[in-house]
């Protein structure tokens, strides 16, 4: 099984990638700004990358941020349309979506799944 991770360079993304690799899954990650060591990465327009790569499950961990309220609002609006596009191009593949900066708490991440 092959997993594709967007947002893999962040705290929770690195933990997810380590957990997936620990379970023996092949991991592909989207590289936006920060390289992700030890994982095959792809670059390009996010919609096209999601549509044209081979994977079974997409882990969406990316967040859109900005330094001010108006910028955050515009980014969240842009993110809404991008996320809608992502769901359309999945074509039967699974999606695991993490949202917000406090979803993982203070402890280490434990992945319990039957992928």
Look up the pTM and report it: 0.76
Residue 112 lies in a domain: no
Do residues 38 and 62 make contact, with C-beta atoms less than 8 angstroms apart? no
Domain carrying residue 9 = 2-97
pLDDT tens sequence across 16-64: 999 999 999 999 998 877 778 888 998 888 888 888 888 999 998 887 6
Q: What's the structural domain count of the chain?
A: 1
CATH number at residue 36: 3.40.50.720
* pLDDT for the residue 72: 76
């Amino acid at each position: 099984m092959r997993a594709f991770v967007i947002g893999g360079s962040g705290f929770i993304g690195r933990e997810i990638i380590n957990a997936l690799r620990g379970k023996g899954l092949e991991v592909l990650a989207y590289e936006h700004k920060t390289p992700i060591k030890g994982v095959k990465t792809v670059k390009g327009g996010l919609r096209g990358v999601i549509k044209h790569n081979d994977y079974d499950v997409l882990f969406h961990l990316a967040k859109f941020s900005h330094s001010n309220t108006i910028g955050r609002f515009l980014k969240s609006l842009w993110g809404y349309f991008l996320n809608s596009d992502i769901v359309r191009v999945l074509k039967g593949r699974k999606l695991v979506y993490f949202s917000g900066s406090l979803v993982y708490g203070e402890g280490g991440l434990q992945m319990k799944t039957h992928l």
